[in-house]
Amino acid sequence: MSRSIILILLTNIIISVVIVVSSHSWFSIWIGLELNTLSVLPLLCGQFTPRGVESTVKYFLVQAFSAAMILNVGLVQLWLCSSWSVNCPLNDFSSVVITLSLCLKLGLFPCHYWFPDVLQGLNFLQGLLLSTWQKVAPFIILVSVCNVISINILTILGCLSVLIGGWGGLNQSQIRKIMAFSSISHLGWISSVLSYSVYISCVMFVVYIVLSSAAFLINNEASLYNLSSLGRLMSCNSVVGLVLILIILSLGGLPPLTGFLNKFVALECLLSNNLLVPCSVLIVGSLLSLFFYLRISFNSILCLFPHHSMMIFSWRSISSFSNNVSFYTILLSSLSSVSILGLVLMPVSWCYY
């Protein structure tokens, strides 16, 4: 695929998200979502591998079905309220349908099954696109309707997503599937807080995008596709290994790294609303997620991790990471720095108070 076509598709993806963000009508939101889906599909199957085409078809079916659910909600609102406006109150049926459709787009429980399988069939850059930028438009819609949908349902689905994300990643050996379950867990934290504080939820979402971008980019740069490929990372390039460990621990939420900001602010918000049971569920799910984060960190440190004799390790890509200076490495270095700053960013969250 030529660079000009890629540039046009990326421009359409950005424009479609801007349409969704600036829309107050269900019809224009549906148009933006469909434009976004049709623009991202050629990027997902650009290499035209059987596994990539399969993941692209699955992603298209999921996104088309969820967009159709949103359009049906808009038609019901037009029938009842004679208006396409998003601000019109939703009945119980429309509230449940719009919540499930957005959960399907975001990959939240109980509509999360497609996300790990789709992400496993793509490379890290395509997975980065699906895990970060493609979540922006559904998240903005969820922010717009959080005042008219059931708070209890959204909180329960968020807590269950944290549990499923932590439990599902325990038995995984593929880095992309681990990142997929990590995304499910983080979006569960964000959704649990959204009904009680939109500002805190947006801060958590931005932190999640930064952390996930750094993790995906460094895995792509070092070609780390499974846990066994992490064993000789420190011996090949200690800087890459150390940065990866810090980013993964930051995703796990260990203080004083940046990922601790998400969990600290979320628990503070929920405890201020006397939600002790959801806080307990979120903490348990976070401990489950922390197990496979620590497993990635330990495998990165071990220099004598058992390898199969036929395993091919990408020495050249790892060794060249610190030697070539380009926009790609500068972007990765910036994201890694923000991921490690940690509690320095804590005053940003306290502006809410």
Going from the C-alpha of 188 to that of each of 30, 65, 332, the distances in angstroms are 24, 22, 26
Output the tens digit of pLDDT for each of the chain's 353 residues. Answer: 778 888 899 999 999 999 999 888 889 999 999 999 999 999 988 777 888 889 999 999 999 999 999 999 889 888 888 888 888 888 888 888 999 999 999 989 888 889 999 999 888 889 999 999 999 999 999 998 888 888 888 899 999 999 999 898 888 888 899 999 999 999 999 999 998 888 889 988 988 998 888 888 888 877 788 877 776 666 676 777 777 888 888 888 887 788 888 888 889 889 998 889 999 999 999 888 888 888 887 777 765 545 544 444 444 444 444 444 455 566 666 666 666 666 555 555 455 44
The closest alpha carbon to 26, from 64, 74, 69, belongs to 74
Alpha helices by DSSP H, 82-135? 92-106, 114-120, 124-131
Going from the C-alpha of 108 to that of each of 10, 82, 157, the distances in angstroms are 25, 31, 7
Structure tokens at 201: 């939820």
